[in-house]
Chains A and B, each alone.
Chain A
Amino acid sequence: MKIAGRRRKTKGARGRRWALIGGMALLWLLSAVASLAEQRFPPPDFEGGHQLPVTTTPPARALTLDYLDVGVLGLSLGLAIWLVYRRRSRKGLIVLSIFSLLYFGFWRHGCVCAIGSLQNVALALGDRSYALPLAVLAFFVLPLAVAIFAGRIFCAGVCPHGALQDLVLLKPLKVPPGLEAALSVLPFLYLGAGVLFAATGSAFIICEYDPFVPVFRLSGRALMVLSGAALLGLSIFVGRPYCRFLCPYGALLKLAAAVAKWRVRVTPDNCTQCRLCEASCPFGAMREPQARPGTQTHARDRRRLGWLLLLLPLLLAGGGWLGYRFSAPASRLHPTVSLADLLIRAQGSPPKIGALTPDDLALERARQAPQEILAAAAAIQRRFAIGGWIFGAWVGLVFGVKLISVSVHRPRTDYEPDSGDCFACARCFEYCPNELVRRGVIPATTLTAAAPEISGPPGLDRS
């Protein structure tokens, strides 16, 4: 890693035909002598006064355009809040989704996005020398800040990944609740892994395995294209599979949205418990009214909760230990560690002659400063050991909290979307007769006719 600025002097022969010209020994001699000289062939003095062309340097994308992206993100978030909470308009959100898909997806090629930005932030925390671009920081912070107050507005119509899946959802099927609960821990694990590998400077796995970037770019590696096609096909039947069961940024948004100040409510008014919205949510976010459990179940649940709370430290410690055990193989994802690995395995073998592969060339580089490479790799592995403990404990925590959350019953009087799981897509609104009255689609008298079916007191708890 630390051979910056050092000039490359030794040169292995590359290309058998070159070797034919001079022979190996001569070549080594020639290149060693030549690299001492300033320039092998002095630049010519043109008699005809030929002017040297200038090496062109097309500029990078203007910085103002990066801030334009941030501006568009901010405006889209604001517009989405207005569409969800004021207009309560699904149509408006569809239009916004298409815009986001075109702008952040196809125009900006899906980069930089909020999902990937969490890795930049993790890298900035892990590596003091990495300068985090402010525009990237804004992409990380803005949707989260909005989610703390207004829920997953970013998912509703600003995120191009979500928009793409949402727009192809044609025949939503219900995921069995058990499977849904089990799969819903995946984003948190993916988040932990993404942070671990980014903070150690190894890889941005969330970007590397992003399924939809190949769609936005209309090209990509085979694995990405295949996983993108598979997920996109799945999205026709299962609502937003990436958002629900994979998206690591969605995991953060879910945590923020769980404590959001303003929440999406199906009804603009009072819930009449007509149950029309029961099956309206294609993302499994709709929660049914739940009665307060009887004393017997209550006592049993409390006992179970007690055991789970006792189990939590064990899960944390066990997970941490497992994470530590697996940190060494995981560290091979770091280029320096894998190179050190290659160096150790190639110890004693003579330098390769002839056509060199990229691996051979990397090995040759490592052999010039083996101690530096090994020391750097050891330092990275120490970081991975610490990261492994933290990641493992995080996995234990995720499973522990999930177990606790499925065994805690929260009494609910109305049908309402779970604020953590709700993508604020506004689909459920039009299922509510109160909403239809508000929009003037049906007259208010229709509701009073249906009133006898109402059971239980209308919404006491609508927080």
Chain B
Amino acid sequence: MNPGISKPSSVTRRQFLRDGARAAGLAGLGGLLGLVAERSTAKGTVWQIDPQKCVRCGNCALYCVLEQSAVKCVHAYALCGYCQLCTGYFEPDPNDLNTGAENCLCPTSAIKRTYIEDPYYEYTIDEQLCIGCAKCVEGCHRFGNGSLFLQVRHDRCLNCNECAIAKVCAGDAFRRVPADQPYLLKTDTF
């Protein structure tokens, strides 16, 4: 190759290749866009726990990227038996059926027990205190109606690209749900 005459031509050749590569890149990007766009959703998705699949392993309290997990216990009041001896609230063999910490299952006293009428008590979750450890959920599931269950609370959830809890979920209960229907609430026992 003679450097004297190859110089201008090499510039145009390179320019030509560059233009071609750019066109190919654009076409590729467009093709990719077309391929995935038909499967896209305009709604967006969020993470949620399927309470029917949850095995109450306790990972939700440990693996969330937030310091205090975005997973909280929620209560389906319509399913609750309003039991005096709530197995989601009390330790397995409580000394006494009162609100003393030594009798309670919840490590953070996040469940409030309110007397309604004899012999019914209402149990409400204080989400500020709940850490999503599922201890009460397990107790309620095992011996009660299963009206307590875990849900990702979307006022807290960062909606990570990949949920750190979903990756370690023992029950394979996490899944992406449409953002406009972000909860999988229990309407049925167990």
Contacts and interface: CB of A to CB of B under 8 A. Distances in A.
B117 A61 contact: no
B52 A5 contact: yes
A148 B185 contact: no
A194 B47 CA distance: 21
A298 interface: yes
A302 to B, nearest CB: 10
Contacts of A144: 29
Interface in B91-141: 91-93, 116-117, 120, 122, 124, 138
A60 B159 contact: yes
A43 B36 contact: no
Interface string A143-154: 011001100000
A460 to B, nearest CB: 8
A296 interface: no
A255 to B, nearest CB: 7
Interface in B59-98: 59, 65-67, 74-83, 91-93
Contacts of A461: 7, 11
B81 A40 contact: yes
Contact of B50 (A4, A137, A213): A4
A109 B64 CA distance: 14
B158 A365 contact: no
Given A131-B176, A133-B42, 17 more contacts: A4-B53, A7-B52, A44-B81, A50-B117, A60-B157, A61-B46, A111-B161, A121-B36, A124-B36, A125-B36, A128-B39, A133-B41, A134-B40, A217-B65, A259-B18, A358-B170, A463-B11
A137 B172 CA distance: 26
A48 interface: yes
Interface stretch (A12-20, A92-100, A393-401): A12-20
A54 B80 CA distance: 12
Contacts of B25: 148, 255-256, 259
Interface string B150-170: 000111011111101001111
Interface stretch (A182-190, A202-210, A276-284): A202-210
Nearest to B121: A44
Contact of B159 (A31, A61, A134, A335): A61
A17 B103 CA distance: 13
Contacts of B93: 17, 20-21
Interface in A345-374: 356-359, 361-362, 364-365
Identify whether the interface residues of A are mostly helix, strand, loop, or mixed: loop
Interface in A50-65: 50, 52-61, 63
B58 A8 contact: no
A317 interface: no
Contact of A364 (B35, B44, B45, B55): B55
Nearest to A56: B74
Given A148-B26, A207-B162, A50 B116 contact: yes
Given A63-B44, A121-B36, A259-B18, A111 B170 contact: no
Interface of A: 1, 3-8, 11, 14-15, 17-18, 20-21, 31, 35, 38-44, 46-48, 50, 52-61, 63, 66, 109, 111-112, 116-117, 119-121, 124-125, 128, 130-137, 141, 144-145, 148-149, 203-204, 207-208, 213, 217, 219-221, 255-256, 258-261, 292, 298, 335-336, 356-359, 361-362, 364-365, 411, 460-461, 463
Contacts of B19: 259
How many B residues touch the partner, as a band?
35 or more
22 contacts: A18-B142, A31-B142, A39-B79, A39-B81, A41-B144, A52-B77, A53-B122, A59-B154, A61-B154, A131-B43, A133-B40, A133-B42, A133-B44, A134-B41, A207-B160, A208-B162, A217-B66, A219-B66, A335-B169, A358-B59, A358-B168, A358-B170
B185 A47 contact: no
Given A141-B33, A208-B162, A365-B172, A131 B190 contact: no
B37 interface: yes
Q: Most chain-B CB neighbours within 10 Å: which of A20, A52, A117? A: A52
Contacts of A8: 52-53, 55, 190
Contacts of B7: 292, 411, 460-461
A255 B28 CA distance: 12
Nearest to A19: B92
B13 to A, nearest CB: 11
Of the candidates B79, B91, B116, B143, the one having the most CB atoms from chain A within 10 angstroms of its own CB is B143
Contacts of B158: 109, 111, 217
Contacts of B44: 60, 63, 66, 133-135
